[in-house]
């Protein structure tokens, strides 16, 4: 088992690294070159940098991931692809993507995109909270234990 993180805007990277380290699970952070850092990574953590193209990180994660790997992303498109590959896919707000919830999520994304395209305003995501952080950490622990 390996954990892959769509890491450019992921607010739970520290939690992922800590929990994965305790469970001896390797982590790969996939980031665009726009987020390049010379900082040292924790043991068991690799960073893969990709072009800054819109879906570059998604494509790289899908190249690397195997069935039963854990992928952490807020991107519904990547989540859908990863589910099709047999991966476990988590959102940083503490819910698991499933075959049952992915199509309604994709439909909502499409509807919002069409509304924005026609000039309407849509609500953005709610702010990330400490409760979201705790919910995510508990979910990741639960997924690792099963």
Does residue 78 sit within a domain? yes
Contacts of 52 (CB under 8 A, 6+ apart): 32, 33, 34
Q: Is the pLDDT of residue 33 over 80?
A: no
The parent domain of residue 47 ranges over 3-99+129-145
**Which pLDDT tens digit goes with each residue over 120-145?**
876 767 788 899 999 999 999 999 99
Q: How many domains does the chain have?
A: 1
Question: Which two structure tokens, joined as six digits, stand for 8?
Answer: 């450019």
Does residue 60 sit within a domain? yes
Does residue 112 sit within a domain? no
Phi and psi, residue 130, nearest 5°: -60, -35
Does residue 30 sit within a domain? yes
Does residue 91 sit within a domain? yes
Does residue 46 sit within a domain? yes
Nearest to 131 by CA among 96, 95, 93, 97: 93
* Domain CATH number, residue 90: 3.40.50
Q: How far apart are CA 111 and CA 90, in angstroms?
A: 22
The pTM for the full model equals 0.81
């Amino acid at each position: 088992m390996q954990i892959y993180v769509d890491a450019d805007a992921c607010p739970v990277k520290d939690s992922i690294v800590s929990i994965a380290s305790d469970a001896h699970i390797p982590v790969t952070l996939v980031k665009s070159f726009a987020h390049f850092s010379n900082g040292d990574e924790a043991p068991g953590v690799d960073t893969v940098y990709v072009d800054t193209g819109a879906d570059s990180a998604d494509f790289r994660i899908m190249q690397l991931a195997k069935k039963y790997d854990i992928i952490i992303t807020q991107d519904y498109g990547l989540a859908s692809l990863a589910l099709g590959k047999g991966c476990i896919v988590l959102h940083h707000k503490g819910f698991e993507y499933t075959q049952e919830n992915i199509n309604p999520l994709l439909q909502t994304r499409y509807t919002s995109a069409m509304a924005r395209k026609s000039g309407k305003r849509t609500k953005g995501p709610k702010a990330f909270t400490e409760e979201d952080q705790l919910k995510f950490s508990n979910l990741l622990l639960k997924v690792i234990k099963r």
